[in-house]
Amino acid sequence: MIKLGVKQELTVVKIVDFGVYLGESQQAEDKDTVLLPGKQVPEGIKKGEKLSVDILKYTDDVKKGAYEKVIARDAVYGRYSGRSRWLGAIILFANTVLGRLILLLIPAFMLYYYKPILAYLKKKGFITE
């Protein structure tokens, strides 16, 4: 079975003027093949030859030519795939301008002015000694 998003070796089953059909074997049926567009086909390819391809599923609204360069999965950085999606949301939020202000600037401000802030909180009765 052809897998999406995984680089794999597929065999040229049929050659047409707009590309080639690839399948897992030479005897693959039409429903078990995928079309590789003519722009992506190496010159001089023959029926029965194997090609290393990465099959992706695109919708009609994808920009043309967006699939010309495929990046390997292990070359993608910054993707959080752990157990908690909230941690991933916090990581994404921390990389925004507002997130940097809230998570970096405000704590730094509070550390720098902790004595006046502490005196104010004691004066208002929030802190008792």
Q: Is the pTM value of this prediction over 0.75?
A: no
In this prediction, residue 79 carries a pLDDT of 56
In this prediction, residue 123 carries a pLDDT of 93
Of 76 and 42, the one with more pLDDT: 42
CA-CA-CA-CA torsion sign (128, 118, 116, 120): negative
Q: What is the pLDDT of residues 32-70, one digit of tens each?
A: 788 888 888 888 888 889 888 877 765 555 555 555 666
Residue 94, SS3? helix
CA 128 to chain centre: 51
In this prediction, residue 113 carries a pLDDT of 92
Q: Which of 67, 61, 63 is nearest to 34 (CA)?
A: 67
In this prediction, residue 22 carries a pLDDT of 87
* Residues 71-85, mean pLDDT to the nearest whole number: 65
Share of the chain above pLDDT 70, in %: 78
- Burial of residue 34 (CB within 10 Å: 0-12, 13-18, 19+) is middle
Of 71 and 100, the one with more pLDDT: 100
Residue 21: which residues within 8 A CB-CB, separation 6 or more?
12, 13, 14, 15, 30, 33, 34, 35, 36
Residues paired with residue 14 on neighbouring β-strands, in sequence order: 21
Confidence of residue 72 (pLDDT cuts 50, 70, 90): confident
